[in-house]
Every structure is written in structure tokens, then in C-alpha cells.
Amino acid sequence: MNTNGIFWENEEKKLDERVHEATWPGGQKAVDRLAKQGKRPARDLIQELIDPETCFFELSRIAGFGVHYPGGIDDVPCAGVITGIGKINGNWTMIIANDSRVKAGTYFPITLKKHIRAQAIAEQCGLNCVYIADSGGAFLPMQADVFPDDGHFGSMFYNMARMSAKGLKQITMSTGGNTAGGAYIVFMACQSVMIDRMSYSFLGGPPLVKMATGEEISAEDLGGARVHTHISGGADHFCADQSEAVLRVREILALEPPQEIHSHRYAEAPPVVSPETIYDLMPAATHQGIDGRKVLEAICDDSYFIEYKQHYAPGRGDNLLTGKIRIKGIPVGVIASNAVGIIFAEAARKASEWIVRCSQEKIPLLFLQNAPGYMVGSESEHQGIGKYGSDMVRAVSCAQVPRIQLVIGPDNGAANYGMCGRAYRPHFLFSTMRARTGVMSGRSAAGVLLSIEEKNREAKGKPMSDAEKQAFREKMIEKYDGEAHPFYCGSRLLTDRVLKFSEIRDWLAMAFEVSLLRPIGEPSFGNFRF
């Protein structure tokens, strides 16, 4: 491994440490507390729920770090909810599980964002959902930020109802409290499973009932598993413990129709070059260019990239590569950054053409993003970079095929749009430790802001000294580079997962397979300028 490779391995160790913190909240003490309640950590239940020897593809593990909420809460480990995709009886299924070790599984704004993002993936890809519900409901000190709005608490149940209406099963396994609005996760499910003396569901818990009506009643008698499965009929399956409940959920989903992907698929073949070479290919400095062809070769089957318009406009057209690859047998169209990745008009035109062609052929698209922006300057403007860039954004927005973005370097300005950033609703958006997502690089932002500050200070008759300029520049670089870092973006759910370079191939294969479960419609684009 060369110095680049060693650098990225070390960066990924930092990712491992953060993930460990996120997935181990409260340490052994918290696990022991669960055990006293007859419970196991939700990840253990998930592993038992999915098919033996299969992998749980866990999403957004570093969400919630450094979110700084009122009451001195800096981190909400893993956003308090575990989300991810695994196979149940051979079918890909979305699993959403409260982690009751994190403030009783209550919903902070970031918890909601993560829960609703998982539902959005499920809806877009046509996945059944299993909810492992154990939550104190809204995090009360932030009720105004989690309760009343679209995208807040009520949206989770709205989504359940609409997905169910589309034929996507919503199954809830309650493993704890589900109070007030949270109770609906049990009652809205297509089928729900409750556990004796562990699951509770009520619109108002015993203290509220006493306050409101004077009635004194235990949680068990008010809304325990026996009440809802034997008396109210609000839940459907009564189980003795968590293991039985997990088996019951698998049984409920046992006769689902087997999924099939809407694509032809070839035999899977590993890359010819070792996938580990990707570490050496990535310059440690994120502004330095990459060899996009070699990166693709390290990811795709047979290391075989069939390039489209390889010789078009050298030095300008080839800052974006277009062509086809196979990922574990699935044919995929690619738009991949190359060299420093600045997008010239020729590259934008080529990319738009390619997106339209892949849409016509119903081939899914991979955007491999390492672009600091579109080319600026009078030559570029006069050549029409604005209109060709917007054509590319239009093509990306309207392409009806599954689209996946993988960020492996700079991800700035309008290049974020043209390369299918979050606002363009890719089916999945992944990043790596080399990703830097921000309106511009720290260096550029510092330059722009410094020139504004200098003018302001001069107008006030207090020009900046060289030392002040330097301090200002450094502060801005730290702020903007910090906000572009994958830890910052991952904690705010601007990515579905920060991948290690070695994980890229397996994750892309899963993501394309899942994205292709729904039939692909016909292409329809708006008004291109050309």
C-alpha cells in the first residue's frame, strides 16, 4: 500500500471509532439494564430477524453526532434509531428499530429525519417495512421541533398508511413502551406483534390517565400485550418473549411473493485488479485529481469499463467519463468524475446525452462524484456552461431510472446538482472519508468572504492588518472544510452511509438490486436548451 492508501486506512479507523461509539451507547451498563427487562439490544434482534448468514446493510450509523440540542445534549448516538436493509425469507426488507438505550428511544429532529428517510427508501424501492418499536415518543423538551409539522412525528404514520395502501406490508414488533402518538406505530401496522409484560401501547400512560380521569391503573392493564391482543384487538399476535416475536414476524412475511429485479443480469465476476487498489488511487489531498477509469476498474466486474465518447474533447470533455460497467452482474450506466473533475461545457453535454441514452435503455445510473464545480470564466460562460450545466441538471432530475450517487472527493456548487446530490433524490447517496460536500471549498469560501470583510472594514475606516486577514482566512477554512467533512454531513443525514472504500462494491450491488425492484417507467424530459 502506498502513502495514500495508508492515509485513507487511518481515516477509516476514525470512522470505525465513531461508529463504535454510536452503536454502543451507554456501554455494557446499558446492555445489562436491558437484560434486566428481559430485552436484548435491537441489533441482536435484527440479526435474528434477517435470514441466517446474510448481512444487515445498516444505514446512517453516524447520524446524530454533534447535533447540539437544548439541555446540553451534544450527541444522539445513531440518532436513536437503527435503520437498514436486510433479507427476510429471501426478500429485501427495510428494518427500523428504536434504540431504547438512547433517551428511551425518543424522537429528536434527527431521529425523525432518519426514520422518515428509511421510509422514503422503502417507498421508492418497494420494500416491506418491519418496525421494532420501543420508544418514549416525542423528545418532550423539543416538542415544537418534532411534533406539529410535515416531516415531524405524524409523517411516520402517514407514510405507514400510504405504503400499506400501495401493498407494502408494515409490520410492527413492539418490544417496549409506545405511548401517545407513538402508540400508532402498533395500531397503524398491517399486523403487529406484542410481547407479554414487555410491550405497552396507549394514547395516555397511567400518570396521564390518573390526571385526566382519576382512574388508577397499571400499564399492563391499561395497554399491555394481553389487552391489545385479547380485548381491544389493536394488535394481532401475543408472544411470550422477544425470540418468539422475531419468529412470528418472519412467519407473517413467509408467504410474500419473491422479489425480482427489473433488469437483465449477467454472471457476477470480481474485478481483475484488486479492489484494495482503490486506496492507493485516492490522493490524500482532496483537491488533487483522480484517475476515474482506474477507480471504476477497481469497483466493477472484470474491471471492464465500456467507455462512451472516450476521445471527445480531450482535456475538457473527459473530466467526466461516461459509459457502462457491471456491478455483480447488473449493468449500470456511469457518469464518473475524472482528473480534477471540473465540469466543462463539453463534459456537461456528454453527460446529458448519456443520461438520456441510459434512460431510454432503462439502465440505472451511478454518479461517481469528485467535482469541485462547473468551469467558470468568460470563455466558459460565452460557450454556454450555464445552459449546458442546467441541461445536465434537467437530465438528472427527470431520468426515471434508479440513480445512485457515490461521493469520493469534492462535491461543490452546482456540480452537486448535476451529479445527483441529495436534492435530486437519488435512490441512495453514499460518501467516503474523502468526500467534501459544501457550497465551495474552504479555501474558496475564505477568499470570497475575506474580500467582503476587507471592503466592510475599509468602509468603516479600519482596514484589516495582514495578521487579521490570515486569522480570518484560517477561521473560515476551518468552518467550511469542517462542514464539508463526512462526519458533519453524515451526522446530519446528508448521506445514507459513509462507506469504507473496501465496502463500495458490496453496497453498490445491494443498492442497485434494491433500486431495481420496481418496474422502470418510460423516459420523459422537459425542455432542454441544447
Stretch of 172-180, 404-412, 456-464, 500-508 contacting ligand COA, by CB under 6 A: 172-180
CA-closest candidate to residue 322, choices 336, 332, 341, 339: 336
Of 46, 62, 76, 180, the one binding ligand COA by CB under 6 A:
180
Whole-number Å distance between alpha carbons of 214 and 150: 34
Tell me whether residue 205 or residue 418 sits nearer to ligand COA (CB atom): 205
Residues 104 to 133 in contact with ligand COA, rule: CB under 6 A: 104, 106
CB neighbourhood size of 106 (10 A):
22
What does the alpha-carbon distance between residue 281 and residue 77 come to, in Å, rounded to a whole number? 33
8 Å CB contact between 98 and 105:
yes
Nearer to ligand COA, 197 or 485 (CB): 197
Binding mask 192-231 toward ligand COA (x if CB under 6 A, else -) reads: -------------x--------------------------
Question: Any contact of residue 140 with ligand COA (CB under 6 A)?
Answer: yes
Contact between 41 and ligand COA by CB under 6 A: the answer reads no
From the list 59-67, 179-187, 188-196, 328-336, the region that binds ligand COA by CB under 6 A is 179-187
Rounded to a whole number of angstroms, the minimum distance from the CB of residue 179 to ligand COA is 4
Question: Phi/psi of residue 498, each to 5°?
Answer: -85, 115
Terminal CA-CA length for the chain: 45
Kind of pairing, strands 237-239 and 81-88? unpaired
C-alpha cell at 511: 443498492
Looking at the Cβ atoms of 36 and 460, the one nearer to ligand COA is 36
Q: Which is nearer to ligand COA, 106 or 416 (CB)?
A: 106
Query: Among 139, 367, 417, 424, which residue interacts with ligand COA (rule: CB under 6 A)?
Result: 139
Quick check: 179 binds ligand COA (CB under 6 A)? yes
Identify whether the C-beta of residue 172 lies closer than 8 Å to the C-beta of residue 206: no
Expressed in percent and rounded to 5, the helix, strand and coil fractions of the chain are 45, 20, 35
- CB 333 within 8 Å of CB 363: yes
Told to check if 138 binds ligand COA by CB under 6 A, we report yes
Q: Candidates 72-80, 124-132, 137-145, 321-329 — which segment interacts with ligand COA by CB under 6 A?
A: 137-145
Could you tell me which stretch among 72-80, 88-96, 176-184, 368-376 binds ligand COA (CB under 6 A)?
176-184
Indicate the burial class of 282 (C-beta count within 10 angstroms; 0-12, 13-18, 19 or more). buried
Chain residues in the site for ligand COA (CB under 6 A): 100, 103-104, 106, 136-140, 177, 179-182, 205
